[in-house]
Structure 1
């Protein structure tokens, strides 16, 4: 099964693809969709949409997982991140993929073993778990961590036939 992890951001949305065969995880690809912060918000959202659609069309994942957003102190930043996150949820759903969401602490705990791990710890463990991974950015590493978390949790839910938080089209 091919899994797409997504780390939403208005400036940089990380994406990471892994292949899951049983408990074995294999790196497929990773990167980020970057937007120009000099452009109007609507144009940045189009860039984000088109970039994610291209990733989905190129790599044909079976499922997508998205990191849930925490609330920032700055309400304007939180709102803009929320709008970008809406695009990140919409694109795979419109492509017919089941989309699941995971809190940041669960992602960190799944990959590092601690819910309050630093970004450097996440990157180091992603390299251990996916030794062939080419981490072009911290956003790509975070997206791979989302995909790894989904692989760990989704396989359990598939075995027991349980429901996961998220939407399946």
Structure 2
């Protein structure tokens, strides 16, 4: 499996390509950053991000694109730029028919380091170790892009099995099973509360 990881950003958009399968050594094929000038007009910056990602897609022909899921931050301006760059990456992949997976920062950290609360230095150190690199990729955006690709390679098989199981069950049966589980949980809770009051 060949995955392009994208750590979205307007000023620095990290990109990294990793190849391999879960349970086997992984190989880094390329890593870098698509940069745009902070003082440029927004539309031109988005075009530059698009052109940069398109070059990576042309050169490495990934089977999947893994993008960091944008979450709300205190700085609305920063999150808007990140969301816009993320949308550009998804658009580039969709235009080519390449599946896109979104992973939260905590999912990526947990997959790569074992802790969803790991800091950037810990993520960089594990990326370096997992890909057998001589030094951590710089800047951190590049290391984060590789971590996204690694996360997807490791998580994709389980996600695929879950999707296939849900498809076999069918939406009506899945809803019915969910309602039965909720009713059973409510009944158990009611029984437990009766036992506490007796």
Same fold by TM-score greater than 0.5: yes
The residue number in structure 1 matching 2:97 is 96
Show CA shifts across 1:86-144 (max 9, x none). Answer: 11211112121000101110100000111111000000000110013761321110000
Corresponding residue SS for 1:162: helix
The residue number in structure 1 matching 2:141 is 139
Ranges in structure 1 where 5+ consecutive residues have no aligned partner: 165-169
Quote the offset at 1:74 in angstroms. 2.3
Q: How does 1:1-169 map to 2 (within 5 A)?
A: 1-21=1-21, 23-24=23-24, 25-132=26-133, 135-158=137-160, 162=164
- Superposition TM-score, scaled by structure 1 size: 0.89
Q: Distance in 1 between matches of 2:134 and 2:95?
A: 28
C-alpha RMSD of matched pairs (Å): 1.9
Contact 1:4 1:15 in 2 (8 A): yes
- Superposition TM-score, scaled by structure 2 size: 0.77
Who wins on radius of gyration, i.e. which is larger?
2
Ranges in structure 2 where 5+ consecutive residues have no aligned partner: 167-198
CA change 1:96–1:131 in 2 (3 A) is same
Corresponding residue SS for 2:30: strand
Q: Which has the higher strand share?
A: 1
Q: Distance in 1 between matches of 2:45 and 2:151?
A: 28
The residue number in structure 1 matching 2:194 is none
Contact 1:110 1:152 in 2 (8 A): yes
Corresponding residue SS for 2:20: strand
Q: Which has the higher helix share?
A: 2
Contact 1:27 1:133 in 2 (8 A): no
What is the count of residue pairs matched by the alignment?
A: 164
Using CA pairs below 8 Å that are at least 6 residues apart, which structure has the higher relative contact order?
A: 1
